DNA sequence: TGTTAAATAGTAATTATTCCTAAACAGGAA
DNA sequence: TTCCTGTTTAGGAATAATTACTATTTAACA
């Protein structure tokens, strides 16, 4: 999980990418997170170190890292894109309440049987299982809101406020 | 697969929805399609019958049908939302070339083992497997483009032009 | 048939993301 | 080390999908 500056530099070099402080900070923040942050989450996290940085740079950087295969993009609903530097095959558990995404590393899911009844000329290169439901916090909140109709969002369990739309 | 006007009317009534011509046409078009059309695809399909209709109405209608549980929304990448009136549990095969979505009805995938190592208080209500790869048409196109570098998109295999971004 | 809440259509607003461009900078070459 | 060049950055503008607002219309019940 932990990775040094030189490791990052080598990875960038291997992909033909320049090692800039901003890019390093963004990739490092993503490597350290398991919360699948959005571009804005990452921006908020690295902005203190780079007061002049623009959100644009985060988008550009994430685009470059994705194209280079160093990160993956995860999509749930039509909320904003979420990013993941964990490249080992894994699956996701998605809370429909707070939009939290939890990694599911169960290796049994990596060996699914080939699906029946699909076009013969379709070439499958990967698969991913998305489990949906409610996290403990949202379950408790929902029960409470049914009983006492408490409105709005509850504080997320994810440090750094990595949740979905706030509307 | 085939459903009558009265069936639709009953479904709407059961959800407390009014039966309007526009709403009926949109839902009917979705029921008849297996291509997981976008809001704009549906708009294009029903617009000839309703020259005054606005895309807005399609979005509103799809929102109402989704909230009522009559349709599902499917998301791939951060392209526009795709819709599906097939409510029986199933999975998807997604072409990374033309964004086609094919239903995978293999019942073995509906009985996945409960994932290991997830928070105990997370309540899973559904799961879905997304297989990704290239459809036959896109595979042939890709091979050709490697050999002869032919640019741009190929004509999709999906009737009605149900493909993703054309950029 | 009249009433009323829901639905429609049109316009405007919003949100996430991408595009464009000039200035700054990393990293290889001299 | 210094220079050069193409990449990266930051800022502003543009775009694309979707949602919000609102007046008018309409379905469905009384």
Q: Do A124 and B132 touch (CB under 8 A)?
A: yes
Percent of chain A with pLDDT over 90: 73
Instruction: Please give chain B's pLDDT, 167 residues, in tens.
Output: 578 889 999 999 999 999 999 999 999 999 999 999 999 999 999 999 999 999 999 999 999 999 999 999 998 877 799 999 999 999 999 999 999 999 999 999 999 888 988 999 999 999 999 999 999 999 998 765 544 333 333 332 222 222 222 22
Q: Find the CB nearest B136 among A122, A134, A136.
A: A122
Residue B65 pLDDT: 98
DSSP H helices in A33-122: 39-46, 55-67
DSSP per-residue letters across B54-112: -HHHHHHHHHHHHHTTSSEEE--TTS--EEE---SS-EEEEETTT--EEEE--GGGGGP
* Closest chain B C-alpha to A112 CA, distance in angstroms: 8
Q: What is the pTM of this model?
A: 0.83
Residues 94-153 of B with CB under 8 A from A: 95-96, 102, 104-106, 108-109, 112-113, 115-136, 139
Q: What confidence category does residue A69 fall into, taking pLDDT thresholds of 50, 70 and 90?
A: very high
pLDDT exceeds cutoff 80 at A19: yes
How far is CA A109 from each of CA A112, A130, B132, rounded to the nearest angstrom?
6, 11, 15
Q: What is the pLDDT of residue B116?
A: 87
- Does A74 lie at the interface with B, CB-CB under 8 angstroms? no
> Would you state the pLDDT for residue B141?
81
Q: What pLDDT, in 10s, does the model give residues A114-163?
A: 898 899 999 999 999 999 999 999 999 876 554 433 333 333 222 222 22
Task: Please give the Cα distance from A61 to A56 (Å, whole number).
Answer: 8
Cβ contacts of A93 within 8 Å, gap of 6 or more: A101, A102, A103, A104, A131, A132, A133, B115, B118, B122, B124
> Given this model, what pLDDT does residue A145 score?
52
- State the pLDDT at residue A59: 98
Q: Which nucleotides of chain D are near protein (any atom < 7 Å from a CB)?
A: 7-13, 16-21, 26-29
CA-nearest residue to B140 within chain A is: A121
Inter-chain residue contact A93 with B118, CB threshold 8 Å: yes
User: What pLDDT, on the 0 to 100 scale, is given for residue B77?
Assistant: 79
Long-range CB pairs of B12-19, under 8 A, 24+ apart, other chains included: B15/B68, B15/B69, B15/B70, B16/B68, B17/B64, B17/B65, B17/B68
The answer to whether the beta carbons of residues B94 and A126 sit under 8 Å apart is no
> Chain A: nearest CA to B18, how far in angstroms?
27
- Higher per-residue confidence, A90 vs B114: A90
The mean pLDDT of A47-64, rounded to a whole number, is 97
For chain A, what is the mean pLDDT? 85
């Amino acid at each position: 999980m932990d990775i040094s500056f030189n490791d990052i530099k080598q990875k960038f070099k291997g992909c033909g990418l320049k090692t800039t402080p901003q890019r390093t900070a963004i990739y490092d923040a993503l490597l350290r997170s398991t919360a699948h942050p959005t571009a804005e989450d990452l921006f908020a996290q690295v902005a203190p170190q780079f007061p002049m940085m623009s959100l644009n740079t985060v988008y550009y950087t994430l685009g470059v890292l994705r194209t280079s295969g160093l990160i993956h993009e995860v999509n749930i609903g039509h909320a904003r894109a979420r990013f993941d530097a964990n490249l080992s095959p894994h699956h996701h558990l998605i809370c429909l309440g707070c939009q939290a995404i939890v990694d599911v590393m169960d290796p049994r899911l990596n060996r699914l049987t080939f699906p029946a009844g699909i076009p013969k000329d379709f070439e499958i290169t990967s698969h991913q299982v998305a489990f949906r439901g409610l996290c403990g916090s949202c379950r408790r909140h929902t029960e409470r809101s049914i009983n006492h109709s408490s409105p709005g969002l509850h504080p997320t369990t994810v440090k750094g406020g990595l949740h979905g739309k706030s509307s």
